[in-house]
Amino acid sequence: MATTAHRRYAEIMRDVEELINDHIAQQKRGTQERSKLKLLVPSVGVFFTTLYLEEAFLFQDDRRKISSRRFVPPSFNDIRLILNSAQLLSLTRKAAIELVTFDGDVTLYDDGQSLTDDNPVIGKIIRLLQQGTRIGIVTAAGYTNASRYYERLHGLLDAIRDALIHDKLIEDPQVIILGGESNYLLVFDSHAENFLRYVPRETWMLDEMRTWQEEDIQSLLDVAEGALRECINNMQLSAEILRKDRAVGIVPAADTGKRKFTREQLEEAVLVTQQVLEVSSPGKKIPFCAFNGGNDVFVDIGDKSWGVLSCQRWFGGIAGSKTLHVGDQFLSAGANDFKARLACTTAWIASPAETVALLDELHLHGENQREK
């Protein structure tokens, strides 16, 4: 039975792989609307690389014993990890990966926590830097000063400084932080306070971002604030509004401690606010991202596609096919990593431990490729 299931699952993956290859071929000709995959899945987006799904299934089946299960069929998580492996295989096969960007919470560290010096992901990121890969951390956390980012990422920043002192890195590596989704850029600088140097927005903004008028930005945040206040009233939430220069959100009220909102309350607030903004005048002019932050809801100016594109531009114009974004929020409703798919290849993880495993797998596939 296991042998039959293994063969059948591999055949299905091969069939889907061929559908994707056909779509990519049509994409290159500008006729992707005619692809078989587009007819089957009208919402399918852009593919930056081939996906080696059959080979990825064989890799994950060896690890997860998917075809050996008698009563539990392939799960959502099985498929998610197969897709991750397929993407890593493609990136390493073409020796193409030049930039890896990461989300923060739930990707590098637990929700609401910090990247401490005992986090195993740090060694994996240092290894990428030693191989010449650029690193970007594209996070919703929107601070205007370096010290707040140092508080959240001190384990990694200290480790990079130590690697420089002990000659494990020759020169300041190419590491940047893009905060507030796409609003604040800081560069690693071993000589700066907190090892981060703030870069004025006007020096790195994309040309499209320069067309965003401040009046429209503040109008959008005003509309978002009104929608969020309505959600607080309608659902009788013990919450308060937090307004920043490029974001607005709801957080637990100070007098309730860290009381948790329910997932349904958070998603309702996201969807209501998103709908209100989409039909508003400023919402049609300014890109925005409404997302569920785990125990808060925020609306940011821009989104992670703009954040990743800004990282690519900062490093000299790296292509989407040579960039990997790693994050945990890819569901379309209230998920701020979702838009990164517009800018580059992606890997969907569910915990910091999965990020560590993903980077080990990336290294493994790279080593296997170099041995061939």
Active-site residues, by number, are 103, 105
Q: How far apart are CA 138 and CA 153, in angstroms?
A: 12
Map 311-338 to HEC letters. HHHHCCCCCHHHEEEEECCCCCCCCCCH
Decide: 297 and 273 in contact? Cβ < 8 Å: yes
Q: What sign has the CA pseudo-torsion 182, 91, 315, 104?
A: positive
Residue 247, helix vs strand vs coil? strand
The DSSP element (H or E) to which 347 belongs, if any, is strand 345-348
Decide: 329 and 335 in contact? Cβ < 8 Å: yes
Q: How far apart are CA 74 and CA 6, in angstroms?
A: 11
| Cα-to-chain-centroid distance, residue 111 | 14
Q: How far apart are CA 290 and CA 221, in angstroms?
A: 11
| Cα-to-chain-centroid distance, residue 352 | 13
Task: State residue 252 phi and psi, 5-degree precision.
Answer: -55, 140
The DSSP element (H or E) to which 274 belongs, if any, is helix 263-278
Q: Which residue has the tokens 């096969």?
A: 93
Q: Identify the CA nearest to 113 among candidates 170, 121, 288.
A: 121
Neighbouring CB atoms inside 10 A of 289's CB total 27
Which ranges in the chain belong to alpha helices (H)? 2-29, 36-40, 53-64, 76-93, 121-130, 146-165, 214-235, 263-278, 304-314, 352-371
Residues 6+ apart with CB under 8 A from 70: 1
Q: Identify the CA nearest to 335 among candidates 269, 279, 267.
A: 267
